[in-house]
Chains A and B, each alone.
Chain A
Amino acid sequence: MNIRSEIENIINNNEICLFMKGVPEAPQCGFSMTVSNILKHLGANFKGVNVLDNEEIRNGVKTFSDWPTIPQLYVKGEFVGGCDIVKEMYEKGELKELLKSKSLI
């Protein structure tokens, strides 16, 4: 399977999917930790994909999303954003609304 299909599979099989450095229990980068903590705080179940375990996914997801940094959050197959956007949406209450509207929290 090529890397693009692999990433598509991960995104399609996990309603909330966070490409991150480290794992939700032990993020290895401050930005990944921020997004992971926000999702936990909102009570969302999410799949953390540790890009440090897989260089192909790490680079592949940047191309896939046309986004140069990690973390990257996907909700129901749609790219929501990186740390700055997720944090801003959380602070404005928009992330909670988004997850609620999709019955994910």
Chain B
Amino acid sequence: MALSIEEIKKLITSSIPDATIEIKDLVGDSNHYSAKICSKIFNGISKIEQHKLVYKSLQGKMGNELHALSITTEGK
């Protein structure tokens, strides 16, 4: 069960509405992605907390349906 780029974007946007998201399918298998996510909610919190917010938005799919998503986060 893989997730499409659109599904990932939708999940992230549903909990981080102001997110600007760029996702790349790294090898074209809908299973290895990289995502760059910018949002105001990342301002002033640690990288660990920023990534946790992204993982939370993916509702437990990270490490399960979604095998590999490398994340870069930035504030706005």
Contact = CB atoms under 8 A, between A and B. Distances in A.
B52 A67 contact: yes
A49 interface: no
Contacts of A89: 47
Interface stretch (A1-9, A80-88, A96-104): A80-88
Interface in A36-92: 62, 66-69, 79, 81-85, 88-89
Contacts of A68: 55, 60, 62-63
Interface residues of B, number: 12
Contacts, number: 29
B70 interface: yes
What class of interface size applies to chain A in its complex with B? 10 to 19
A19 interface: no
8 contacts: A67-B52, A69-B62, A69-B63, A81-B47, A82-B51, A84-B70, A85-B48, A89-B47
Given A62-B63, A88-B72, 13 more contacts: A66-B52, A67-B48, A68-B55, A68-B60, A69-B62, A79-B48, A81-B47, A81-B48, A84-B51, A85-B47, A85-B48, A85-B51, A88-B47
A31 B55 CA distance: 17
B71 interface: yes
Contacts of A81: 47-48, 51
